Structure 1
Amino acid sequence: MSEPEEKLQGEQRDSTKKKKKEKRSGKKKKKEKKEQEEEQQVEEDESECVVLRGIFKLGKKSHDVLLTRTRLTWTPITPETPTGEACVVQPGVVLLQDVYAVKVKRRRAIGQQSGGAVLGVALFCCKKRGKRLEEDTLHLHNASSEHTHTWYNTLKELLAGFSSRPRYLKVFINPSSHKKEAVHIYRDHVAPLFKMADVRTDITVTERKGHALSVMKECKLDEYDGVVCVGGDGSVAELCHAVVLRAQLDADSPEKPVKPVLPLGIIPAGSTDVVSCSVHGVRDPVTAALHIVLGHLQQVDMCSFSSLGQLVRFGFSAMFGFGGRSLALAEKKRWMPSSRRREYALVKTLARLRPEDCQLSFLPVKISKKNLFEQRFPSLYFCMVTHFCGVGTEGEESWTTNQGLYLSISIMSIPCLSPHTPQGLAPNTRLANGSAALIAVGNTSRSEFVKHLKRYSSSSGQFSFSFVETHAVSAVRIRPRALTGWSEEESEEDGDSKTSPIIQSEGAAFPWNIDGELVEIANEVIIRYEHQLIYIYGHNPQEMKWCTVNLVHSV
């Protein structure tokens, strides 16, 4: 046999061996996949196995009630028709993940605090109405004390299996938020839900700005399951910063942000409640409280703000230029009512509209062209891009730098929804999508800038101007080229904005609006995007799909 023929036969043998090996490997993978599916099916079957079955009255009709590890269903007991045909009735269903409390019902006389004849079991659950969560109650009537207590104890045991639900919370209440309603909101709407769900609380009513931060630095957090803030955006910003900073201190990591173990709950009690609207979709304390007691958790992006190598704070959004100037002016008029103060500051800042001369640098996030998958599932798409492709960092990408005049520069890691901006200040971002939104508004006339601002109150179009640019970024650096700004004594001229900034004295600080709080910084600022840095109680109103109560009472 010639050498070429031997070589050919050898290649054929190798090819045959390779095919057999791939075939065995394929069979092995199929077998493993089948075993995994069987295990998953067994787990599902176990979860749907009937734990209890009994007869209860719902309304005036008797029902056959079934309890599994995940749900409770009830079907009315109906007699057969004369022809022997049974009526087909759709059973009512409630998922245990939507039940936050169970109580034994008793008949008590007026003034009687304990005891009384057993009437049955009451399940306290939530139902979804639009973006809101509402309280609902399912009454199961049965006069047997033994039967009732068996169901009560079993239900309590099953509800205790939801590990994400808090049992002990540290609560901060800002009594000065908005119209000083925070204490009443907590007492009337939140505390009863916490009590019903057997959630213990340790309450601190803050007395000054920075009080919550000082308490968080010193208190022992091991015994708590979460932290709750009752207040406006300023209180939320302070507590979010405090939670992340405390995690950083506990981990002895001064350079790198550390994800806190404790989640944060936000009860809206302010005038705009931007973070609460972005997380829950609505400004509703009951919705926020139900998310907390049910243990709904989500990871949310944040940003770190630093200057000259020193951390300034952690936050969700920042505005430089118009946003910072208007807030600085509003802070000087604290004696005014909040709504009037905001309107006054807005009008005055527009009258004194001046651009900032600065160097804007940013690290763009590499994202391919929009496709159908990205448009339909933006958060999942961005997370996949971030995971597989990576977010651009200083070592991997070069900074994109622009020098010029800017009326406003905004950096936002969340959509920043509010009643005044229904689509959000950054409508193209999400709560945890792998990038922050940079919105840079170049110098233009006052009339054009006002048109841009008005678009935020409508559905879209706020970025469809030649002087507005947007970018998905992982870091931003803003370096003022000259100390520019305005003073209280400036002339209030009408007409278009000036093309050259006003020179201010050396050493003056620039006002920044960071999460609605005024922060004055005299040097360049570096903003870094921090992916999913904090856990917040709630469900993303734009992307999360979760099961709600289906109380179909057949009574």
Structure 2
Amino acid sequence: MSEPEEDLKEDKKKVCKKKKNKEKRRGEKMEEEKREQEEQVHEAEKHSESVILRGIFKVGKKSHDVLLTQTTLTWTPIIPETPTGEVTALQPGMLLLRDVFAVKVKRRRAAGQQSGGAMLGVALFCCRRRGRKLEEDTLHLHNASADHTHTWYNALKEQIAGISSRPRHLKVFINPSSHKKEAVHIYRESVAPLFKMADIRTDITVTERKGHTLSVIKECKLDEYNGVVCVGGDGSVAELCHALVFRAQLDANFPEKPMKAVLPVGIIPAGSTDVVSCSVHGVRDPVTAALHIILGHLQQVDMCSFSPVGQSVHFGFSAMFGFGGRSLARAEKRRWMTSSRRREYALVKTLAKLRPEECELSFLPAKKSRQNLFWNRDQGDNQEQDSDLEGEGEASWTTKQGQYLSISVMSIPCLSPHAPRGLAPNTSLTSGSASLIAVENASRSEFIKHLKRFGSSSGEFSFSFVETHAVSAVKIRPLSMTGFSKEESEEEGDSKSTPIIQPEGAAFPWNIDGELVEIANEVLIRVHPRLISLYGEEVEEAESTVSCSCI
């Protein structure tokens, strides 16, 4: 045999050996990936109570081994041997059933065809997080077998229907006058399609006047519903929450004591600031709010009762006296302006005429905060606090008299795009106390510095003239008799909106949950822990999308 022939034979042996080694490595890799797939399936089985179904579906263009348990849906790619011997690395997926709100059978239909059509598989409509927002997403499981598809469809529907916190029938109130008068459009375009997809029945009332919601709730058969939804601003939300607490008092025949509302409230933001919505959603986004409602995310929330002397009790979340009340009174007299211009006008005008109010301020410290001026939201808040004034033990009233530019009492953080950390950042939704923020008389420039810091990271209370307390009750008694003077009222022009309360004589403007309330006498504010449940969750900070240029 010649030397070139021997070299050629040796080369062929090397090629064959390399090929065998390559095939061996490919086989070992496939065996390893097969073992990994089996381990993932076993892991899913181990962490679930039981395996309900297992089958083959296409996810995208690849076949997957799909496993359904009581809590999760997992899909693991099936790796076939390719002609080139290469193995594609595909990642397994998992979806929690608690994030799925609708399941539909997919069919291929011709244009205009209403029923029938070739079977395509199952579509799962679910929720995914993007920052503070919740967004709609879809997982498509493709399989042409009708029996296979219907088996999976029925099993998925059964598991989703078993989540007890999800509403099936909702009473919806829409305030068509909120903010830019877009509430009806927001509900029809962004919310109603999601409710329909989730098979939620709705009974809709479009409110026509202030007090309409209360009159409907008083006569409504609440046991027919799983929840109540408000599409509007903070005033509409407070009116609905007040109505539900008042109805609970009527049903219990116990008008002297606040009773917990029997139905949770969902808030679709359609106002100018939406601080209650932002406090339980983190964003002013109707889709996020609707998905919280559909998925049954419930959060207990504290409320306050506002009791002017000689007048009926009103339930809400926040009250502002002084600067907050006067700026709202001026804004209400400029309803023809856009909301942003109206707000800036009112702030600038009130700052230009800034003046303190002579008041007697009394407060009852919250039990948890006797040692510390405030406890922050990172500390435990699971224990309920009895907010009744009787039986407070060692707690005693603290009374001060002086001149105040602003006094605010808030049972929730009151987050908003203008104040991402909230107007009361040191409280929480279920702290069992309210945040009292008293701003004593100061120069206009120092007061403006205080206001500006609400839009920044911190430092809004680090002024010698700002005093903060965690309280269970507050009394505010104006000592001057000026109120919102006749000259100021005439200067501002006639108001197109009527305040909630119109007492005789001199009255002081209050901002209670974004609504103008005129009160002449002392006001008693009390905190009532976990008085209502809202659809949403506790959030630390709201999304900031605006900046105020007025100051």
**TM-score clears 0.5:** yes
Equivalent AA in structure 1 for residue 529 of structure 2: H
Query: Kindly tell me: are residues 472 and 455 of structure 1, through their superposed partners in 2, closer, same or farther at Cα, counting changes over 3 Å?
Result: same
What's the TM-score, normalizing by structure 1? 0.82
Pair 1:381 & 2:380 matched: yes
Give the letter aligned to residue 314 of structure 1: F
Seen in structure 2, the aligned counterparts of structure 1 residues 355 and 215 have a Cα distance that, compared at 3 Å, is: same
Alignment of 1:297-376 (within 5 A): 297-308=298-309, 310-367=311-368
2:222 corresponds to 1:221: yes
**After the TM superposition, which residues 56-455 of structure 1 pair with which residues of structure 2 at under 5 Å, given as runs?**
56-79=57-80, 90-308=91-309, 310-367=311-368, 378=377, 381-384=380-383, 386=384, 393-395=389-391, 396=393, 397-455=395-453
Identify if the C-alpha distance between structure 1 residues 277 and 126 changes in structure 2 by more than 3 Å, giving closer, same or farther.
Answer: same
Equivalent residue letter for 2:53: L
**Equivalence for 1:477:** 475
CA drift at 1:340: 2.1
CA deviation string 1:311-335 (max 9, x = no partner): 4310110001111111112222223
Q: Tell me which amino acid in the other structure corresponds to 1:170.
A: K
Contact 1:356 1:484 (C-alpha < 8 Å) held by counterparts: no
Deviates more, 1:339-348 or 1:105-114: 339-348
Report which structure shows greater RCO (CA 8 Å, sep ≥6).
Answer: 1
Distance 1:445 1:462 in 2: 16
Q: Aligned partners of 1:92 and 1:307: how far apart in 2?
A: 58
Q: Distance in 2 between matches of 1:122 and 1:150?
A: 14
Contact 2:484–2:509 (Cα < 8 Å) also in 1 = no
Q: Deviations over 1:375-408 (max 9, x none)?
A: 6xx3551334x56xx6684432210110111110
- 3-state SS of paired residue (2:368): coil
Deviations 1:282-336 (A, max 9, x none): 0000000000110110101110111236543101100011111111122222233
Cα distance in 1 for residues equivalent to 2:316 and 2:111: 52
Seen in structure 2, the aligned counterparts of structure 1 residues 451 and 394 have a Cα distance that, compared at 3 Å, is farther
Which of the numbers 512, 531, 534 marks the counterpart of 1:533?
A: 531
2:461 to 445, 460, 463: 463
- TM-superposed CA distance for 1:338, in Å, is 2.4
Give the match's secondary structure for 1:122.
strand
Relative distance call for 1:326 and 1:286 in structure 2 (3 A) is: same
Q: Which segments of 5 or more consecutive residues in structure 2 lack a partner in the other structure?
A: 1-44, 491-502, 542-551
Greater displacement, 333-342 / 70-79: 333-342
**1:10-61, CA deviations, whole angstroms, 9 ceiling, x for partnerless residues?**
xxxxxxxxxxxxxxxxxxxxxxxxxxxxxxxxxx969432100000011111
Residue of structure 1 equivalent to 2:494: none
2:387–2:527 CA contact under 8 A, matched in 1: no
- How far residue 237 of structure 1 moved from its aligned partner, in angstroms, is 1.6
Distance 1:382 1:491 in 2: 44
d(CA) in 2 for partners of 1:382, 1:484: 41
Letter in 2 for 1:516: G
Q: CA offsets per residue over residues 224-256 of structure 1, 9 Å max, x none?
A: 111001111121121111121111111111111
- Residues 380 and 433, structure 1, Cα contact 8 Å, conserved in 2: no
Give CA-to-partner distance per residue, 1:185-211, whole Å, 9 cap, x none: 111110110000000101111112221
Shift of 1:349: 1.5
Q: Residue 38 of structure 1 corresponds to which residue in structure 2?
A: none
Query: What is the one-letter code of the residue matched to 2:338?
Result: P
Write out per-residue CA displacement over residues 236-282 of structure 1, whole angstroms, 9 at most, x where no aligned residue: 12111112111111111111111112100000111111111111000
Q: State the Cα distance separating 1:119 from its structure 2 match.
A: 0.8
TM-score (norm 2): 0.83
Using the TM superposition, give the Cα deviation of residue 439 of structure 1 relative to its aligned residue in structure 2, in angstroms.
0.1
Query: Structure 1 CA distance, aligned partners of 2:388 and 2:233?
Result: 33
Change (3 A) 1:392 1:205: closer
Distance between the aligned counterparts of 1:369 and 1:308, measured in 2? 28
What residue in structure 2 maps to residue 520 of structure 1? 518
Counterparts of 2:253 and 2:148 in 1: how far apart (Å)? 54
The 2-side partners of 1:148 and 1:425 are apart by 52
Cα distance change, pair 95–139 in 1 and its aligned pair in 2 (3 A): same
Q: CA deviation at 1:339?
A: 2.2
Q: Is the alpha carbon distance of 1:53 and 1:467 closer, same or farther for their aligned partners in structure 2, counting shifts above 3 Å?
A: same
Q: Deviations over 1:327-380 (max 9, x none)?
A: 112222223332222222222212221211111000111336999xx76xx355
SS at match of 2:381: helix
Does the 8 Å CA contact 2:483/2:509 hold for their aligned counterparts?
no
- Number of equivalenced pairs: 481
**Structure-2 separation of matches of 1:165 and 1:506:** 47
Equivalent-residue separation in structure 2 for 1:338 and 1:81 (angstroms): 63
Q: Distance in 1 between matches of 2:341 and 2:332?
A: 12
Q: Distance in 2 between matches of 1:94 and 1:290?
A: 16
Distance of 1:477 and 1:382 partners within structure 2:
25
* 1:383–1:434 Cα contact (<8 Å) kept: no
Contact 2:227/2:264 (8 A) holds in 1: yes
Mapped to 2, the partners of 1:215 and 1:506 lie a distance apart of: 29
Aligned residue type for 1:439 = I
